[in-house]
Structures are given as C-alpha cells and as structure tokens.
Structure 1
Amino acid sequence: MRSIWTGSISFGLINIPIKLFSAVEESSLDMDMLDKTDHANIKFKRVNENTGKEVSYENIVKGYKIEDDYVILEDEDFAAADAEKTKTIDILSFALESEIDSIYFEQPYYLEPDKGAMKAYALLRDALEMSGKVGVTSFVLRNKEGLAILKPYKNVIVLNRIRFQQEIRDPSELNLPPVSKTKAKEMDMANKLVEQLTEKFDISNYKDEYTGKLLQIIKDKAKGKKPAPTKMKVVHKQNDDLMEMLKASLENKKKKKSS
C-alpha cells in the first residue's frame, strides 16, 4: 500500500510519527467512458475558459472568488491557516464509540507507525483496547479540516473520519409520519418479526454479489453470449392492511426455517 499522508499523533506529551493509508478499496468494476459510434476512449481536458486551449496541470492554481476577482492561494497559504493541524492528528478527548451516531461516520484509514514510533504506537493502541474508548481527533487532510476517531482494529489503529454536525442535513423538511402512532397490535407483530429475523452480525456473510454477476455478464458478452432477460419477482402485493402483511411475513419466515 502507498501512504497518502504523513504526520504524527499528539497524545498528551507523546508524539507518534505515523503514515496514513486508505483502509478501503472499491469493489465496483472500473468502467471506461467510450464514444458510442467507434468505442474510442473519452478524454477530459482542463481547458482555459477564455482561450479554449488546454492548460497543463503545473500551470493550474487555486483561487477563491471575492466579488468579481479571484484571490490566488499558494501551498504555504493553506499551511498558514493552521500549520499544526496540517501535520498533526491531535487527540482532543476520549469517548465511547456508542455515543457517536453512525450518521457521522465517513471513511476509515489505517495508521502505521513511522521509524522509532513502534513502542508509543503500541502503547496508544493497547490503551484504547483496554479502556474500550476511542480517541476524538481533529486534523487537516487535502486542505480540509476533519474530525475523526482513533480506534483499535486487530493490531492496527484505525482513523475513521466523522462529519461535523453542520454537515448533516436537517430532516425536518421531509414528509414523515408522526412517532408512536402505530397500533399496539401492529407494533407487537412488528417486534416479533424483528426478533425472528435477529441474528449475530457477521460481516463475512455479506458479499458484493452484484459486481460478480455483472463481471460474469461482461465475460459472457466477450464470448458472444447475450444475457438472459430477468424479471422482477413480486412476492407480496403491497396493501394498506399492515397486520395482514406482518402475519404473512412471519409465516413466510417459518416456512423457510422448516424447509
């Protein structure tokens, strides 16, 4: 793996040099955009709006528009905004992970200790494991400040970015049913269905089946085979009788267990 950021974790008076790596990779297939007429690759160019000419990457700068003009920013300007946060993952506090709503979680990264940091890295990782807490941190990545938590995963410290509260949209504009208006009998039946479908979560039971099936279609088409048309199966026609639908769902689950 190739590191995408280097810096250090600030833990009290302890400084732990680290390298940051992406912990995820896309399971989707890498598709190219082609011209429908001759299947030639579609290329995207950075073009000057005034001249129509292509601009090389080294001649592109970043600017922020104020009124009718742009203020051009250099690398040192981004660092000057908060030089410490551009190279430091600062642990602000410790908390229980269960206190952080899952809507805030964004993307995980692996942290690897840099030279001479093995002992301090292990100390922090094992302290997090023993306490059952996560470290709440802030840092700057790609000119954007972010919140994150540090947590142990197997033998690595994972940095999981979390969103700021201001980045979460308010759902009050959505047309939603009021809370606790469901009939007692319907709620009891729904709870029974939830209980019947409850099992210990095991991530290994879940696979990206769609990508695998799509890849098989691609391979078949390469051999000249056309995919067979598929039909959507309607198991139950939706109606307004929730009790009837809940009963049917419970019965369907019982039949599957007995078969």
Structure 2
Amino acid sequence: MRSIWNGSISFGLVSIPIKMYSGSEERKLDLDMLDRKDHGRIRYKRVNEITGEEVEWKDIVKGYLKDDAYIVLEDEDFEKANMKKSKTIDIEEFIKEEDVPDVLFKKPYFLEPQKGGEKSYNLLKKALLETDKLGVATFVMRAKENLSLVGVYKDALVLHVIRFADEMRDPAELKLPDAKVSKKEVDMAKSLIEQYTEKFDFEKYKDIYNEQLIKIIESKTSGKKPKVEKFDSKPTPAKDLMAQLKASLEKKKKKSKAS
C-alpha cells in the first residue's frame, strides 16, 4: 500500500508520527464511454474558456472568485491556512461509539506508526480497546478539513472520516407516512427480526453484481443472448401485512431446520 498522508496523531501531550493509508477500495468494472455510432472513446479535455485551447495539468491552478476577479491559491497557501491541522490529527475528546449516528460515517483509513512512534501507537491502541472509546479528531487533507473518529480495527488504529453536522440534510423535508400500525403487527415484526438476528460476519457478503455483469459481457462477446432473471418488486398491501409477516417467520423456521 502507498501512504496518502504523513504527519502525526496526538492526544494530550502525546504525539505519534504516523502514515495514513486508504482502508477501502472501490470494486467496479473499468468501463469506457464510447460514441454509439463507431465505438470511438470519449475523451475529456481541460479547455481554457477564453482561448478554447487545451491546458496541461502543470499549468492549472485553483482560484477563488471574489468581486469578479480570481484570487489564485498555490499549494503553500492551503498549508498556511492551518499548519497544525495540515500535519496533525489532533484528538480533542473521547466518546462512546454508540453516540455516533451511522449516517455520519464516510470512509476508513488505516494508521501506521513511523519510526520512533511504535510504543505510543500501541499505548493509544490498547487504551482505546480497554475503554471501548473512540477519539474525536480533526485534520486537513487535500485542502479540506475533516472530522474523524479514531478507533481500532484488527490490531491497527483506524481513522473514520465522518460528516460534519452541516453536511447532513434535514429529513423533515421528506414526505414521511403517518400510517398507524397495531401492537400485534409490531410484535410480529420484532419476532421476525429476532429470527433473522445473527452475529455479523461481513466476510460472507460478496459483491456479486460485478460477477453477473462480466457474465453478460461474456455472453455478448460470444453472440449469445444473456439470461436475465425476472424480478418484480410490489409493495405489500396493508391488509396483507400480518399474513406476510407470518409467512416470513415460517419460511425462516423451515430454513433453520433444514440447515
């Protein structure tokens, strides 16, 4: 793996030199955009709006529009905005994991100690494990401030970038139903949830969509018509809710007996 950010992580007066690595990766087919007529690849060009000419990456800078004129920002300007946050993941407080809504989580990153930080790295890791807490930290990466949580995953410190409160939209704007459900229906649904409750093992969940897409590509390559499973999802009518819940429970019970 190649590190994407180097600096330090600190809590109190303890500073740990670290390297940061992406903890996840996208799994999708590399598809090109083509012209339907002749299958020529579609290219994106960086074009100057004034001259109409293409511009090389080395000649591109970032600018902020103010009073009808651009203020150009160089790489060092982004670091000058907050030198500490550009170099340090500063843990400001510790919280319980259950206090963080799941919708705030965005992306995980692994942290690895640099030379001289091995003992303090293990100290923070052990303390987090034994207190069952997460560290709340902020830092700057790629000219953007990030709010994050520091915890432990498989013997490594992991940093979860989470959303700021003002990045979340208000669900009050949604048209949510006020349909009433009976206690009997709720109890039946709770029983169904209990029947399907297992210890989470994310290794058993696989991304099968790409595999199925490759099969379609192979079928089209050989000139065969790909087999498509028909699927029609219909909402369960309110009057059939109890019957469907009961049928779901029976189905799960039969499956459990068979296994």
Q: Per-residue deviation at 1:38?
A: 2.4
Pairwise mapping of residues 2-41 of structure 1 onto structure 2 (< 5 A)?
Answer: 2-41=2-41
Provide the C-alpha distance between the structure 2 equivalents of 1:84 and 1:154, rounded to a whole number of angstroms.
29
Aligned residue identity for 2:205: Y
Pairwise mapping of residues 207-226 of structure 1 onto structure 2 (< 5 A)?
Answer: 207-226=206-225
Provide the C-alpha distance between the structure 1 equivalents of 2:174 and 2:57, rounded to a whole number of angstroms.
42
Asked whether 1:184 is paired with 2:221, we answer no
Pairwise mapping of residues 40-55 of structure 1 onto structure 2 (< 5 A)?
Answer: 40-55=40-55
CA-to-partner distance for each residue in 1:67-92, whole Å, 9 max, x for gaps?
Answer: 32222112222112111101100010
Provide the C-alpha distance between the structure 2 equivalents of 1:74 and 1:237, rounded to a whole number of angstroms.
54
Asked whether 1:203 is paired with 2:194, we answer no
Provide the C-alpha distance between the structure 2 equivalents of 1:229 and 1:100, rounded to a whole number of angstroms.
41
Aligned to 1:211, the other structure's residue is in SS state helix
Provide the C-alpha distance between the structure 2 equivalents of 1:201 and 1:257, rounded to a whole number of angstroms.
17
TM-aligned CA distance change 1:167 to 1:233, over 3 Å:
closer
TM-score where L is the length of structure 2: 0.92
Aligned to 2:51, the other structure's residue is in SS state coil
Aligned to 1:33, the other structure's residue is in SS state coil
CA-to-partner distance for each residue in 1:44-82, whole Å, 9 max, x for gaps?
Answer: 110011211001111111111123222211222211211
Asked whether 1:158 is paired with 2:163, we answer no
Provide the C-alpha distance between the structure 1 equivalents of 2:232 and 2:80, rounded to a whole number of angstroms.
59
Provide the C-alpha distance between the structure 2 equivalents of 1:94 and 1:46, rounded to a whole number of angstroms.
45
Q: What stretches of structure 1 of length at least 5 have no aligned partner?
A: none
Pairwise mapping of residues 1-259 of structure 1 onto structure 2 (< 5 A)?
Answer: 1-178=1-178, 181-232=180-231, 238-241=236-239, 242-259=241-258
Provide the C-alpha distance between the structure 1 equivalents of 2:6 and 2:119, rounded to a whole number of angstroms.
18
Aligned residue identity for 2:184: K
Provide the C-alpha distance between the structure 1 equivalents of 2:6 and 2:188, rounded to a whole number of angstroms.
53
Q: What stretches of structure 2 of length at least 5 have no aligned partner?
A: none
Aligned residue identity for 1:63: G
Aligned to 1:225, the other structure's residue is in SS state coil
Greater Cα offset, 222-231 or 181-190: 222-231
Aligned to 1:169, the other structure's residue is in SS state coil
Aligned residue identity for 2:237: N
Aligned to 1:147, the other structure's residue is in SS state strand
Aligned to 1:85, the other structure's residue is in SS state helix
Q: Per-residue deviation at 1:97?
A: 1.0
Aligned residue identity for 1:196: Q
Aligned residue identity for 1:209: I
Provide the C-alpha distance between the structure 1 equivalents of 2:169 and 2:235, rounded to a whole number of angstroms.
34
TM-score where L is the length of structure 1: 0.92
Provide the C-alpha distance between the structure 2 equivalents of 1:131 and 1:254, rounded to a whole number of angstroms.
39
How many residue pairs end up in the alignment? 257
Aligned to 2:84, the other structure's residue is in SS state coil
Provide the C-alpha distance between the structure 2 equivalents of 1:43 and 1:237, rounded to a whole number of angstroms.
43
Aligned residue identity for 2:143: N
Greater Cα offset, 120-129 or 142-151: 120-129
